[in-house]
Amino acid sequence: MKDLRNKFVKNSFEKLMRIKNPYLHSFVEKYVKLCNPAKIFVNSGSPEDLKYIREAAIKYGEEIKLKVEGHTVHFDGYYDQARDKENTKILLPKGNNCSRHINWIEREKGLKEIHEILKDIMKGKELFICFYTLGPENSEFTIPCVQLTDSAYVAHSENILFRQGYKEFLRRGSDPSFFKFVHSAGELDERKNSKNIDKRRVYIDLENETVYSVNTQYGGNTIGPKKLALRLAVNRASKEGWLAEHMFIVGIRGPNGRVTYFTGAFPSLCGKTSTVMIPGERLIGDDIAYLRKRNGKVYAVNAEKGIFGIIAGINSKDDPLLFKALHSPGEIIFSNVLVTEDGEVYWNGKNSPMPEKGINHSGEWYKGKRDAEGNLIPPSHPNARFTLSLDLLENFDPRLNDPMGVEIKGIIYGGRDSDTWVPVEQSFDWVHGVVTKGASLESETTAATLGKVGERKFNPMANLDFLPISIGKYVRMHLEFGKDLENPPKIFSINYFLKDENGKFLTEKNDKRVWLKWMELRVHNEVDAIKTPTGYIPMYEDLKKLFKEVLSKDYEEEDYIKQFTLRIPENLAKIDRILKIYREIPDTPDVVFRVLKEQKERLLEIKKRLGDYVSPYDFYT
């Protein structure tokens, strides 16, 4: 390492050596020699170091200052705007018999390829070495991480999104159990974008808990501790008996100032963000949760401390908390939005007039501009993003950094479902909830670009894209997790998208506030529920009271009947779809088939007596 000392700037060598970890030093030395940067900066997490990286992002042209203090914009390359699913691969040993849903490459072959691409890739550039923790520091949840990147934008994003981890590395000394990330944007074009995206690769080595990302800048491919680390965390959790989930954590306020914490898993475009951003409730996390057991109870932390969120559609009426934060001074990175000549930002769906021209991910932009393929270029990319720290939001919960985590009383699974699930329902027990809610989660596509409109996408626990292990093993993890809990969190399904026979939505946007309040009362056994063949549903009297208290709105009995009618043909069709999927997964636990078949039998028995569509009142006793 000493022969590389002259590459380190601003006391960086001393900062690295202060960490008494030979394994870390060896890792850094290997990739410094391979990637061959011109200079190296080590981020200790101090205000001075964080400022250095912010300024480097401007200096190297990866970000541009905007009108509002602290705001900057970053543009990814025109064809580097989303997660590269095709070239994101898990490195697995030769002969591995993995699930067909896992995109993988033989480990030795993948390592050889990625190391050949990394050879001298940082020549003439600055390498940033950054330390983070997933979860609060000095906690049973903590996973330390080290990121090597030649992109100041990536380092800056991670400084906003994750807790600084330099002190954790100092505390842990020679402990080798940390996640490692190596990223290079590769050769850059005149706009400072990755040039060789044909060689874009994101390889995840489970054995060495290392992620390699090259020739890309888009955050989903490069921000290592986020979704890339989720694969590593799921793999580690499967061996250690905890859960790493694609879940939000939100505190719902109950009577007398009580706050009850829920986690929730929703696929994209299913209402996840609108759920965690409800005014008056308390936000701990919007994306990734770690769940552990302690004394027979479940506790969770947010792996992150910020949001890397989709900005399209955010407006002052539907998203007041986010909208206000995005227009207030503070450290925020906008990516792939439209910037006007006076430094204002505009995105698709913002409730303000669309500018005539500006700068966006395509360069100089004007209304009617088309790309090389003849496609109309919108002012803002559909996947445009914002990056901010949670403490910029008014609904931020300071328990975000509680090293003990928050106790979880309920788990919510939500999908886009036009015809099957009722708006809110509680499972009978943990196993029933895991199988019929989480492991059976589906979501309907909404646009042709996502596949055929209305097509149902299977997405267990909304985590399918991030599983490095088989679906069967993953479902078994959840089943095992609940076995020795004295009072397991209650599991709920939620559906904001149920329609009537004419295609009209049966619930309104704000109704979700009532469903959440009902779940909060249920976990404390303060309201009764009606038992149906698929789970427990609310009683009309309780919802009527809540609609008045929460929304100052009358709730009609007719609406209740439409919303909570049991749709037996659709439920039976769903069970058949899910059974077919799991029959093709060799390691599916037997209990999955048993629970689904029992639910099918209950539905068929009711159908015989009461017909295809059964009013909730038919289940009143």
Does any domain span residue 337? yes
pLDDT at position 445 is 80
The pair of three-digit structure tokens given for residue 295, joined into one six-digit string: 């004394």
233 and 273 within one domain: no
Residues 6+ apart with CB under 8 A from 138: 168, 171, 403
Helices (H) and strands (E) in the chain, counts: 17, 33
Confidence of residue 273 (pLDDT cuts 50, 70, 90): confident
Q: Residues 170-178: what's their mean pLDDT?
A: 97
Task: Assess whether pLDDT exceeds 70 at residue 450.
Answer: no
Write the CATH number for 434: 3.90.228.20
270 and 222 within one domain: no
Q: Is 68 exposed, middle or buried (0-12, 13-18, 19+ CB in 10 A)?
A: middle
Does any domain span residue 70? no
Confidence of residue 96 (pLDDT cuts 50, 70, 90): confident
Q: How far is CA 505 from CA 337, 517, 562, in A?
A: 31, 21, 11
Q: Is 246 exposed, middle or buried (0-12, 13-18, 19+ CB in 10 A)?
A: buried
Amino acid residing at 94: K
Does any domain span residue 76? no
pLDDT over 90 for what percent of the chain?
A: 93
Amino acid residing at 499: K
- Rounded Cα distance between 555 and 440, Å, is 30
Q: Which residues are catalytic?
A: 270
Question: 313-351, pLDDT tens digit by residue?
Answer: 999 988 999 999 999 999 999 999 999 999 999 999 998
User: CA angle at residue 39 from 37 to 45, to 5 degrees?
Assistant: 110
217 and 93 within one domain: yes
- Rounded Cα distance between 366 and 203, Å, is 38
pLDDT at position 443 is 93
Confidence of residue 448 (pLDDT cuts 50, 70, 90): very low
Question: 391-413, pLDDT tens digit by residue?
Answer: 999 999 999 999 999 999 999 99
pLDDT at position 3 is 86
Task: Assess whether pLDDT exceeds 90 at residue 375.
Answer: yes
Confidence of residue 482 (pLDDT cuts 50, 70, 90): very high
pLDDT at position 10 is 86
Does any domain span residue 213? yes
356 and 284 within one domain: no
Q: How many CB atoms lie within 10 A of CB 176?
A: 13
Q: Residues 219-238: what's their mean pLDDT?
A: 96
Q: What domain range includes position 342?
A: 308-392
Mean pLDDT computed over every residue of the chain: 95
pLDDT at position 560 is 98
Query: Do 62 and 80 touch, CB atoms closer than 8 A?
Result: no
Does any domain span residue 404? yes
Can you give the three-state secondary structure of 185-237, one letter per residue?
CCCECCCCCECCHHHCEEEEECCCCEEEEECCCCHHHHCHHHHHHHHHHHHHH
Confidence of residue 383 (pLDDT cuts 50, 70, 90): very high
Write the CATH number for 120: 3.40.449.10
Task: Assess whether pLDDT exceeds 80 at residue 446.
Answer: no
DSSP lists the bridge partners of residue 320 as: none
b (16+ CB within 10 A) / e for 71-95: bbbbbbbbebbebbeebbbbbbeee
- Rounded Cα distance between 271 and 230, Å, is 21
Task: Assess whether pLDDT exceeds 60 at residue 449.
Answer: no
Q: How far is CA 401 from CA 133, 134, 267, in A?
A: 11, 11, 26
Does any domain span residue 598? yes
Q: How far is CA 160 from CA 45, 84, 250, 292, 330, in A?
A: 11, 23, 20, 25, 11
460 and 421 within one domain: yes
- Rounded Cα distance between 346 and 361, Å, is 13
- Rounded Cα distance between 455 and 464, Å, is 17
Domain count, the chain: 3
297 and 387 within one domain: no
The pair of three-digit structure tokens given for residue 320, joined into one six-digit string: 């007041």
The pair of three-digit structure tokens given for residue 477, joined into one six-digit string: 């993890």
Domain boundary among 366, 392, 418: 392
Does any domain span residue 156? yes
Question: What does pTM read for this prediction?
Answer: 0.96
Q: Residues 65-87: what's their mean pLDDT?
A: 95
Q: Residues 584-599: what's their mean pLDDT?
A: 97
pLDDT at position 101 is 86
- Rounded Cα distance between 20 and 591, Å, is 48
Q: Residues 585-612: what's their mean pLDDT?
A: 97
DSSP lists the bridge partners of residue 211 as: 181, 204
595 and 497 within one domain: yes
- Rounded Cα distance between 86 and 465, Å, is 12
Q: Residues 51-57: what's their mean pLDDT?
A: 98
Domain boundary among 392, 417, 452: 392
pLDDT at position 451 is 55
End-to-end CA distance of the chain: 75
354 and 425 within one domain: no
Confidence of residue 453 (pLDDT cuts 50, 70, 90): low
Q: Is 69 exposed, middle or buried (0-12, 13-18, 19+ CB in 10 A)?
A: exposed
Query: Do 240 and 103 touch, CB atoms closer than 8 A?
Result: no
Domain boundary among 225, 241, 257: 241
Does any domain span residue 449? yes
pLDDT at position 269 is 78
pLDDT at position 447 is 55
Cα–Cα nearest to 509, from 275, 264, 347, 284 = 275
- Rounded Cα distance between 90 and 73, Å, is 32
Handedness of CA 17, 18, 21, 27 (dihedral sign): negative
